[in-house]
Amino acid sequence: MLIHAAQQQIWLYAQPVDMRKQFDGLAVLAQSQLRAQASSGDVFVFVNRKRTQIKILYYDSGGYCLWSKRLEKGRFHHVLSDSDKIGLNWTQLHCLIDGINWQKMQKNKRFRR
């Protein structure tokens, strides 16, 4: 279960990650590639090359927490960005986890007076 706090920043690392990495390996990756303190309480999201696995690392109550999901079918969508460090909000994170590509969604026309 992901712990949601309003002050948390969510960072997606846009490069593929070896999913054999665990707590320490992902924490080092967050510090070296994302230039962020892994124990700051921010949320760090990593996806593998095939985009079939996702890992989420965050620090809570004196220790690292690691959340993981592996898809049996389909892929997580590729988030478009010019940077390796992509800031997300909670809605975008949940869309990514649920397979919804929010970047291609179009707003439907509505009647206005």
* Higher-pLDDT residue of 98, 108: 98
Is there a contact between 20 and 99 (Cβ–Cβ < 8 Å)? no
Edge-to-edge strand list for the sheet holding 43-47? 63-70, 53-60, 43-47, 10-13, 85-88
| pLDDT score recorded for residue 12 | 95
Q: What are the two backbone dihedrals, phi and then psi, of residue 91, each rounded to the nearest 5 degrees?
A: -65, -45
Is there a contact between 96 and 53 (Cβ–Cβ < 8 Å)? no
Which tens digit of pLDDT belongs to each residue from 52-93? 999 999 998 889 999 999 988 888 888 878 888 999 999 889
| pLDDT score recorded for residue 104 | 76
- Average pLDDT of 92-100? 87
| pLDDT score recorded for residue 29 | 94
CA pair distance 28, 41, nearest whole angstrom = 15
Res 105 pLDDT > 70: no
